[in-house]
Structure 1
Amino acid sequence: MEGTHLVKAALVGGAEPAYPEGASAEVDAFSVFGGVDLTVPAGTAVEVSGFSLLGGRSRGVAGEPGGAVVKVRSYSLVGGVKVRQAG
């Protein structure tokens, strides 16, 4: 996949990654205590994977056919992944 590749790491706290609008991206987030909050533009598809010992994970978000795709891999002990579309 062409696009942006972001890596966020935190011992305590979470990540709120930002990436160029309309671009496909891969996001790797690592945290001991914290999670990932991701807001994507309307029409952007999101695929979520990873592991959290104590925490939840949003399902992927459907986007427009042929539109941008953001792949999120999140790993945390306590925390989760929350994904929402702007708009």
Structure 2
Amino acid sequence: MEVDYTGNDNEYEAEYDTMGAQKEASIEDKLNKHEVYGDEAMKELTPILEKLTFAKDSSEEEVIQEVTKAFNLKDDYQEFDLEVVFEDGTKKEYKVNNK
């Protein structure tokens, strides 16, 4: 997920990948000057992701609203880009460009 706001260094980026044997996670929160990687990022992201309830047939608007709320992100973003791979292997991308 990548969310960009107006101005320089105003983005929030989170990655969480548990596909296969290797697990990866990272948070690069330039809004709040907070960057964590690996196990520490996994510990932060897991409870947030467990709150999410959207499904692959949810509307783009529903998904974006739920994700921005769960991650405590403001709605005044310039760009929103989220890629999700559901448990059945379905891959969906949710993109908004307000520039």
Structure 2 length-normalised TM: 0.28
- Structure with larger Rg: 2
**Which structure has more RCO (C-alpha within 8 Å, separation ≥ 6)?**
1
Q: Greater strand percent: which structure?
A: 1
